[in-house]
Amino acid sequence: MLAELALGATTLSTSGLGVWAHRLWHRLHTDPLTGLANRARMHRAFHRARRLRRSNSPLGVLLIDVDRFKHVNDTHGHRTGDAVLCTIATELQAATGPGELPVRLHGDELAVLLTRTDAGEVAEKRAAEIRRTVRGTRVIDGHPIELSLSVGAATTCPNSGELSDLLALADQRMYQTKPSRKAVTR
């Protein structure tokens, strides 16, 4: 694939090279199924925000897991599971704003990177808002699918901690919400 891309680059004009480079960057930093940013883009955005941050305001991450996703795949098949992920990705993109980067990490695990200056104050609030936004029954591939998300929020000061530490903390908090949310919804 890289050889094909390199060969394609040598046959492009100078003006076409910029378009080609943009397409390559997009391809390398975007999840092909959902169109959301991927882990590589999240990593770049996190480190860029740390570098450019003038204040000591925190950065944040919301880690999102699709509840009962395995059941959807087992019951309706992976094509429907993919359609569920695309539906959630569309709703997640619509629910996020400036300073919020929606990301597909892998499988049914998503995230929102909060680089906005008030990330420390709004992380928990944004987690609750996203849970409410992507909740309820949707007809997907002709099947009524009940959607709900478990969301864990974590923040860190820009000069301390790595993205992996922030994701691990958000993961712990997400799993702390799962049992209580399941008990409430049954």
CB 150 within 8 A of CB 128: no
Better-scored residue on pLDDT, 117 or 179: 117
pLDDT tens figures, 112-152: 999 998 999 999 999 999 999 999 999 999 999 999 999 99
Q: Is the Cα torsion angle 42, 43, 46, 49 positive or negative in sign? A: negative
pLDDT tens figures, 10-36: 555 677 777 877 677 767 889 999 999
CB 84 within 8 A of CB 67: no
CB 138 within 8 A of CB 109: no
pTM of the model: 0.83
3-state secondary structure of 156: strand
- At 51 the pLDDT is 86
* Residues catalogued as catalytic: 108
- At 186 the pLDDT is 36
Backbone angles phi, psi at 67, to 5 degrees: -65, 140
Task: Spell out the SS3 assignment of 71-102.
Answer: HHHHHHCHHHHHHHHHHHHHHHHHHCCCCEEE
Average pLDDT, rounded, for the chain: 87
Task: Report whether pLDDT(154) > 90.
Answer: yes
